[in-house]
Amino acid sequence: MKDALEKYKEKIKYLSAPDQKEVLKACYFAIKAHQNQKRNSGEPYAKHCIETACFIADLKLDKEAVIAAILHDTIEDTNLALAEIQKNFGKTVAHLVDGVTKLGKIRITRRWFVLKSEKELAQFDRQIETLRKMFIAMAKDIRVVIIKLADRLNNMKTLDSLEPSQRLRIAKETLEIYAPLAYRLGMGELKGQLEDLAFPYVYPDEYKWLKSKIAESYSQRKKYLEKVKKSLLIKLNQAEIKAEIHTRVKHLYSLWRKLQRYDNDINRIYDLVALRIVVDSISDCYKVLGILHTQWKPLVGRIKDYIAMPKPNGYQSLHTTVFCLEGKIVEFQIRTHSMHQQAENGIAAGWHYAETKGTLDYILKKIKRVPHEDIRWVKELAKWQQHLKDNKEFDQDLRVDFFSDRIFVYTPKGDVVDLPSGSTPIDFAYAIHSEVGDNCVGAKINGKMTNFSTLLKNGDIIEIIKNKKNSGPKRDWLEFAKTSLARSHIRRFVRTKR
């Protein structure tokens, strides 16, 4: 406990002296509130709260977020009232703690089954209601969900102390709910950690197989990349480019998913261990790319420019794969320091200090690196959920919009649109704007006219042909509209025309 407290004091040093004093006050407040409580692991309960707050401090969030993180379990697990938290730490902290508490403990997995008994139906309704609350909370204040993710990450680290059935349930929830949520918020490192912590509990045999398979590969690969790193640093120094080069090890769960697409042949995975080059400016990114391609021959089709065309969750980098020393294939990622922070921490990377911090409207206005389309998706999702009465319909839409695999397609101007796999031009049109969808009369994919039922693929360029004289969406569009956004607009229009 003493070590956790010292670590906490170190983590909060980025805050001003008065703010540090306030968050230390919250720490001792939490220790007192949880003083007679132990975790299943035998550790003091307050240690979990401190470690959760340390994660929030690592993201350099504001003092209110850090305080709320350390107090996040006080309402649910102690005799404290919300009014007492507001009295001691203010309205904003109370709002955040209340938001995390209301999310409760999510008890839902993506099970494809028929609910039969009244008990099962009641449980399902409660689970769906919890998810509704989570997305509505996201729309009001992103910090609530970031604290919830930090809480889950810390809980995953003590999973061994639970019963096997509990471990499996929590690990499944993590893979199916929390990790996708972290991804959609652009928090790539957190997503990887959550997946890797859940992997051995959900897929124990596959985990053991993969660990044994890669042990030797990792060791050999790292030694080889050290030689590549030394050779490259000489070239970068000659070009007077200041750069940090790090070895990037692919997360285990992500590697396992990728291996399934490559017949479990680990020799076909070029980014098992890759090199990440971090530089000071965008121009340096492209200079480094030029040096790599001058020094070594690039693989055709393996160059990706996510700086010019960022992913919808804000990710930016240059990717290239080359035939390197000894003819071996190596993948490189090149990015600036700010891009690296964005890739690791997503929405949390560009936090600002202001009265309205945390709200989506503030983020949209102030944080330029956060992708506007992705944040609008959160707001739209919360909006239509509040009007959707059918829980089964909500569950089905959520599986498609939130948990399914994603594809990235483009507008003719090069803007990226993030859609669930299996989407059609109709989904694309409504993702742009409801007016575009309602007035859609045709579509082109990569310059060629196509049917509305055509499935979109990664990298497609979509052009929607509009006619304002169009009578609006047709009922049969529901047969090939996949996203909840498109389907809800079509249903609403059809109902008004009855």
Give, for 77, the enclosing helix (H) or strand (E): helix 74-77
Instruction: Give the residue numbers marked as catalytic.
Output: 76-77
Handedness of CA 454, 456, 459, 462 (dihedral sign): positive
Instruction: Locate 367 and state its tokens.
Output: 């944080």
Long-range CB contact pairs, 109-116, < 8 A, 24+:
109/169, 109/172, 109/173, 109/176, 110/176, 110/399, 110/403
| Bridge-based pairing state of the strands 440-445 and 406-410 | unpaired
Q: Which residues contact 28 (CB under 8 A, 6 or more apart)?
A: none
Nearest residue to 14 (alpha-carbon basis) of 70, 61, 69: 61
Alpha-carbon radius of gyration of the chain = 24
- Please give the full DSSP string across 196-238, using - where no structure is assigned: HHHHHHHSHHHHHHHHHHHHHHHHHHHHHHHHHHHHHHHHHHH
Class of residue 300 by CB neighbours under 10 A (exposed 0-12, middle 13-18, buried 19+) = exposed
Nearest residue to 246 (alpha-carbon basis) of 228, 270, 269: 228
Distance of CA 328 to the CA centre of its chain: 32
User: In angstroms, how far is the first alpha carbon of the chain from the final one?
Assistant: 65
Q: Which residue has the tokens 């939490």?
A: 30
DSSP at 178: I
Cα distances (Å, whole numbers) of residue 492 to 22, 51, 434, 486: 49, 46, 11, 10
CA atoms within 13 A on the CB side of 155: 17
Cα distances (Å, whole numbers) of residue 227 to 232, 275, 366: 9, 12, 43
